[in-house]
Amino acid sequence: MQEAADTLQFFGQEEGRVRVISDTTGGQAKTSYKYDYYIKDHLGNTRMVLTDEQQTDRYPAATMEPGATATENLFYSQVGNTRIAIPPGYPSDTTTNPNQNVARLNGGTTGPKIGPGITLKVMSGDQFSIRAKCSVEQ
């Protein structure tokens, strides 16, 4: 999104800068401010920028359904290699509709041993929640 040329983007403050954030989610214009703090060395060169901005990332579920393959392949690895049709007697899952495929892992000598995965950049103090469903087939 390109900002208009005459729109205030940030202004300086004693320890860094203040960024102006405009959000129009829900049709209401909302302005907030995010503070960036410059950590400088003994010569006055900026070595690090700390911010009070918090970011929430949401990733799509790995549903294993063929219709979602294009999106899931952007975020997860091993989706296509482990997808199989739901075996008879598999527990129902009400969070995925349709629910016709699952990931199958085989700890033996053949078949995939690693299922769908995602690599996340996690920093100190970050919080995350994860949901997984597992069924053991004998």
Burial class (CB in 10 A: 0-12, 13-18, 19+), 19: middle
Residue-number span of the structural domain to which 98 is assigned: 66-103
Average pLDDT over residues 116-127: 82
Distance, in Å, from the CA atom of 134 to the CA atom of 132, rounded to the nearest integer, reads 7
Whether residue 3 is predicted with pLDDT greater than 60 in this model: the reply is no
pLDDT in tens, 16-66: 999 998 887 777 888 889 999 999 999 999 999 998 887 777 888 888 888
User: Is residue 91 one of the residues assigned to a domain?
Assistant: yes
Burial class (CB in 10 A: 0-12, 13-18, 19+), 71: middle
Q: What is the per-residue pLDDT across 61-114, written as a single tens digit (0 to 9) for each?
A: 888 888 888 898 899 998 888 888 888 888 777 777 778 888 888 766 777 788
The band of 1, judged by pLDDT with boundaries at 50, 70 and 90, is low
What's the confidence (pLDDT) of residue 15?
92
One domain, residues 47 and 72:
no
| Residue 61 domain flag | no
Residue 72's CB is within 10 A of a number of other CB atoms, namely: 23
Residues 45 and 78 in one domain: no
Output the pLDDT for position 37. Answer: 94
Beta strands in 54-100 (DSSP E): 83-85
Give me the pLDDT at residue 18, please: 94
Same domain, 70 and 47: no
Residue among 132, 137, 77, 79 nearest 108 (CA): 137
- Same domain? For 44 and 71 the reply is no
Task: Determine, yes or no, domain membership for 132.
Answer: no
121 part of a folded domain: no
In a domain, 123, yes or no: no
Q: What domain count does the chain have?
A: 2
In a domain, 92, yes or no: yes
Please indicate, yes or no, if residue 82 is contained in any of the structural domains: yes
Based on the fold, state whether residues 42 and 73 are members of the same structural domain.
Answer: no
Specify the pTM: 0.55
- The answer to whether 34 and 55 are in contact (CB under 8 A) is no
- 3-class SS of residue 16: strand
| 15 located within any domain | yes
Q: Is the pLDDT of residue 120 over 90?
A: no
> What is d(CA 80, CA 116) in angstroms, rounded to the nearest whole number?
9
Q: Assess whether 47 and 75 both reside in one domain.
A: no
